[in-house]
Structure 1
Amino acid sequence: MRVLPPAARACVLGAVLAAAACVAPALRPGSAVPWPTVGLLAALCLGCEAARVLPLRGRGAPEGTGPFFPVVLAAVFLLPPAAAALVALPGGLAQPAPQRPVAVRRIWHAAQQAVAAWAAGRAYGLLGGHGAPAGAAAFPYALLPAAVAAVVFCLVLTTLDTAVLAAAEGRPATAAATAAADRRRPAALLRVPSGAGAPALAPYCLHGLVGLMMAVMWHSPYGPPAALLVLLPMYISCWVFAQYQREHAAHQATIRALVQAVDIKDRYTRGHSERVGQASEMIARELGMADDRLEVVRIAGILHDVGKLGVPTRLLRKNGPLTPEERRVVELHPEYGHEMVRGIGFLGEARSAILHHHERVDGSGYPYGLSGEQIPVLARVVAVADSFDAMTSTRSYSRARPVETALAELRRCAGSQFDPAMVRALTSAVGRHGWHPVVTSDEDLPAAGAGAAGPAGARDGGPDGPPVMPAQGREAAGSPGRGKAGGP
């Protein structure tokens, strides 16, 4: 406790006292508490939490694979509020605490969940939930009280998390509320976006429905064993989704490693990949592409220059124009990139975008001189995003062009270099949402124009030439006079 700020200690102590007050009625002599039911549900909560940390194929199960909250909500529907608060204690104490102080965190989890269960039980009782018929007949009568109880359970957890985060980390209330909502969101069930501080209510409503099904089955002729079977499909779905999350995390780590390798090798394009991914996604969204394809086009934009890992570093960092032989070597980078990622199955359609993002709709691009509809759709998207970021980014040798200037140049080259539909989509998206890149500049590089006038002028074709950005200009075929916008 001594490592926590005084305000955080006060929050923890207040939650513990509130939890003690909530469970006290159940511990009074003569209280009509069905202790066998309390013991069985509490043991089930403890078992669900244990399932989250037991080895699973050599690894611990990820967050959310133990269906713990539905059991607590089943207790809310089956027991008096004080007894439901008791059920929540063992699972809360068993929750993993990855950061110190471990004991205090576990006590906090137990206390806040006990308070939340008590509050949910009170809400359920006030709405007549405990007076609903037992068994299957409870569904028409208990659905509304159960939904309200689940919402109250979520709100209490989120409110307490907000308070302790604000106290322990000094965050503003809105930032702490957002972080608390994210922490309380059961990611293994639903990926529900939340606004600032808005708790993820939908997963808790699902927990409430499963808990209500458990309560109904508990009162059925088959008794508690039938209620336990309700958890089996939920656990399986949680485990499957957790496996998906683990695989998705591995995919993201692969992408990050490739991008970081490119950034280290070519300092001139540092941050460029992320911005191209962002602009590509904006274009695809404007075109109405499905959500799963949006992710693919974003990845394609991020990895479009991964083939630069196969280009000699001296060429990527060369001051001054490239010779024709050097340019031909640089222009191999789309093929290098495609070869590098062809074995990464999850990239799918992104691989063709990596290979063809330097093709031109008039057929004068590379590596294969494709034209028009022969160029894959995602490659046409990435080509526009690539050149847009090249023109609007500040480098050590060239100042960023205004967004409107870049868009005007893209429109000028539409039909020859770029697909007009992609240019219109980017123009519309930027007009509606603005351009707010996630990475705006290379902070570790000198400011634009500082000691780089010579190379910049040599690559850009002079201050009055067309806006060919140097990092892209090294890859462009032909002279600046051909009017290439931001590169090939």
Structure 2
Amino acid sequence: MGALPAAARVYIAGAVLAAALCAVPAVRDASAVPWGAVALLAGLCVVSERLPRCPLTVPVLLAGAFLLPPGAAGLVAVPGALLGRVGRRPVWVRRLWHAAQFSLAASAASFVHGLGGPASALPYALLPALAAALTLALVVTALDGGVLVAAEGRSPRAAWGASLPGALVPPLLHGPTGLMTALLWHSAYGPVAALLVLLPMSVSSWVLDRCRRERAAHQATVRALVQAVDLKDRYTRGHSERVGRASVLIARELGIAGDRLEAVRFAGTLHDVGKLGVPTRLLRKDGPLTAEERRVIELHPEYGHEMVRGIGFLDEARDAILHHHERLDGGGYPYGLMGHQIPEVARVVAVADAFDAMTSTRSYSRARPVPVALAELHRCSGSHFDPRMVAALSRALDRHGWCPASPRERCPEDVIPLSRNVPVDHRSPAAGYAHPGGPS
């Protein structure tokens, strides 16, 4: 404990002493303790702590709190904490701390559960179980906050305020599993059937964790690609993320949800990823583009399509990346598709792209008010844009407004109100939203 502040050492030593005192009654009256149950539950805690992302610790501790007296329930947590995986030093101090912390929490939960008297069947067992689960969460959180104050000098508000709401979730989610384990333990089926309750919960939690990690990896991939585009094309800094947000607004109005809605978000965010294949001097050119330079820039949808070809979770987004510059009248690029030949997601992104380009200030053009941009989109409906997508965007903005800042920037007053009193200038078609000499 030499590297820890004196206050932290005293705090941890006090927690260890308190946990030891809680265990004294179980040791003193050893004949009244079901040591087989203690050993079995403690072994499960060891397995949970040693295996990465094995979410059994909380339900096992709760099952111990429901099945055992306070002193014995506290002992269930000790072997797993002492043998568990610790990623930061000092390792043994952290292990001792976690052993004391969870032992005290389990003892307190068992004590609170016992206050409700014997409750061996549903629904009478629910209220004591809920109280015990809340006690476990509160004690763990309170002790965690205390060690942060003592070891890191955090303010009590910072130590406890932010962590309390999130800390209540795991015990409340796993409480029913712990309760069913305890009820089956005392049933005719015995401990073996009780432990089988933990298996499906563990598998489902592992699957959910894998899904969360995969989703986080997808988002990190998209962010990296967007940052690369933003670094290369200073004219469209933040444009990609805003198009992703506008695309989601449109998609929700169309009833798109779930994985497909996420695909729309990715499509809008990555629609310009092909600009990574365009020479930087063309993207940053201040003057008008020549016909040849325009043809080079107009290759960016095909470049983007090829760049994401091997990324499985972007399958549907690829169509939008390739076709977001197509027009309903066939006057777009790269293939001159018409009407419903253009994929739906591409038609969504085309409207979101044009809307954000018109409402964003760039070095070569001032931002237009939101109603002016919407009027321009409506004027070009049926020729440039799908009228359904334009109408959906208009409904969404009426309901939610629009924040022109990127999510990482602060948007004053959150959104721009959609005042209908702004005069509309019909002289510039929506095709004029692009780079002074080329496409956006």
TM-score by length of 2: 0.82
Superposed displacement of residue 104, structure 1:
4.1
Of residues 105, 111, 126 in structure 1, which corresponds to 2:115? 126
1:163-202 map, 5 Å: 168=152, 170=154, 173=157, 177-178=161-162, 180=163, 197=165, 199=167, 201=169
Deviation digits for residues 310-341 of structure 1 (CA, Å, limit 9, x no counterpart): 22222112221111111111111112211222
Matched, 1:438 2:401: no
Contact 1:158–1:177 (Cα < 8 Å) also in 2: no
Matched, 1:73 2:73: no
SS of equivalent residue, structure 2 residue 51:
helix
Superposed displacement of residue 395, structure 1:
3.8
Matched, 1:378 2:365: no
Superposed displacement of residue 26, structure 1:
2.9
Contact 1:300–1:354 (Cα < 8 Å) also in 2: yes
Of residues 101, 113, 127 in structure 2, which corresponds to 1:144? 127
Matched, 1:475 2:438: yes
CA distance in 2, matches of 1:439, 1:101: 36
Instruction: Specify the code of the residue in structure 2 equivalent to 1:475.
Output: G
Contact 2:250–2:393 (Cα < 8 Å) also in 1: yes
Instruction: Specify the code of the residue in structure 2 equivalent to 1:45.
Output: C
Of residues 121, 140, 146 in structure 2, which corresponds to 1:157? 140
Q: Which moved more, 1:82-91 or 1:10-19?
A: 10-19
Instruction: Specify the code of the residue in structure 2 equivalent to 1:173.
Output: R
Of residues 272, 283, 287 in structure 2, which corresponds to 1:316? 283
Matched, 1:240 2:207: yes
Superposed displacement of residue 408, structure 1:
4.2
Contact 1:274–1:439 (Cα < 8 Å) also in 2: no
Identify if the C-alpha distance between structure 1 residues 296 and 108 changes in structure 2 by more than 3 Å, giving closer, same or farther.
farther
Superposed displacement of residue 303, structure 1:
1.1
SS of equivalent residue, structure 1 residue 432:
helix
Contact 1:391–1:468 (Cα < 8 Å) also in 2: no
Q: Which moved more, 1:325-334 or 1:377-386?
A: 377-386
Identify if the C-alpha distance between structure 1 residues 351 and 16 changes in structure 2 by more than 3 Å, giving closer, same or farther.
same
CA distance in 2, matches of 1:267, 1:92: 51
Of residues 331, 352, 359 in structure 1, which corresponds to 2:326? 359
Instruction: Specify the code of the residue in structure 1 equivalent to 2:132.
Output: A
Superposed displacement of residue 293, structure 1:
1.8
Tell me what 1:257 maps to.
Answer: 224
CA distance in 2, matches of 1:440, 1:465: 30
Superposed displacement of residue 100, structure 1:
4.1
Matched, 1:83 2:72: yes
Identify if the C-alpha distance between structure 1 residues 101 and 418 changes in structure 2 by more than 3 Å, giving closer, same or farther.
farther
CA distance in 2, matches of 1:325, 1:72: 70
Instruction: Specify the code of the residue in structure 2 equivalent to 1:147.
Output: L
Number of aligned residue pairs: 421
Deviation digits for residues 126-154 of structure 1 (CA, Å, limit 9, x no counterpart): 223xx133xxxx34432332233223323
CA distance in 2, matches of 1:275, 1:318: 23
Q: Which structure 1 segments of 5+ residues have no match?
A: 53-63, 182-196, 442-463, 477-486
Identify if the C-alpha distance between structure 1 residues 439 and 49 changes in structure 2 by more than 3 Å, giving closer, same or farther.
closer
Identify if the C-alpha distance between structure 1 residues 95 and 389 changes in structure 2 by more than 3 Å, giving closer, same or farther.
farther
Matched residues, percent identical? 64
CA distance in 2, matches of 1:391, 1:5: 57
TM-score by length of 1: 0.75
Of residues 186, 204, 207 in structure 1, which corresponds to 2:171? 204
Identify if the C-alpha distance between structure 1 residues 379 and 217 changes in structure 2 by more than 3 Å, giving closer, same or farther.
same
SS of equivalent residue, structure 1 residue 318:
coil
Q: Which moved more, 1:284-293 or 1:432-441?
A: 432-441
Matched, 1:41 2:41: yes
CA distance in 1, matches of 2:244, 2:148: 33
Deviation digits for residues 278-317 of structure 1 (CA, Å, limit 9, x no counterpart): 2222222333321222211111111111111222222112
Deviation digits for residues 106-135 of structure 1 (CA, Å, limit 9, x no counterpart): 34433332233223223322223xx133xx
Matched, 1:270 2:237: yes
Q: Which structure 2 segments of 5+ residues have no match?
A: 411-426
Tell me what 2:185 maps to.
Answer: 218
CA distance in 2, matches of 1:119, 1:407: 61
Deviation digits for residues 447-474 of structure 1 (CA, Å, limit 9, x no counterpart): xxxxxxxxxxxxxxxxx96787876454
Q: Which moved more, 1:146-155 or 1:344-353?
A: 146-155
Deviation digits for residues 78-106 of structure 1 (CA, Å, limit 9, x no counterpart): 00123212212332344433344444443
Contact 2:287–2:436 (Cα < 8 Å) also in 1: no
Identify if the C-alpha distance between structure 1 residues 360 and 248 changes in structure 2 by more than 3 Å, giving closer, same or farther.
same
Identify if the C-alpha distance between structure 1 residues 7 and 400 changes in structure 2 by more than 3 Å, giving closer, same or farther.
farther
Of residues 268, 271, 275 in structure 2, which corresponds to 1:304? 271
CA distance in 1, matches of 2:160, 2:431: 44
CA distance in 1, matches of 2:84, 2:161: 21
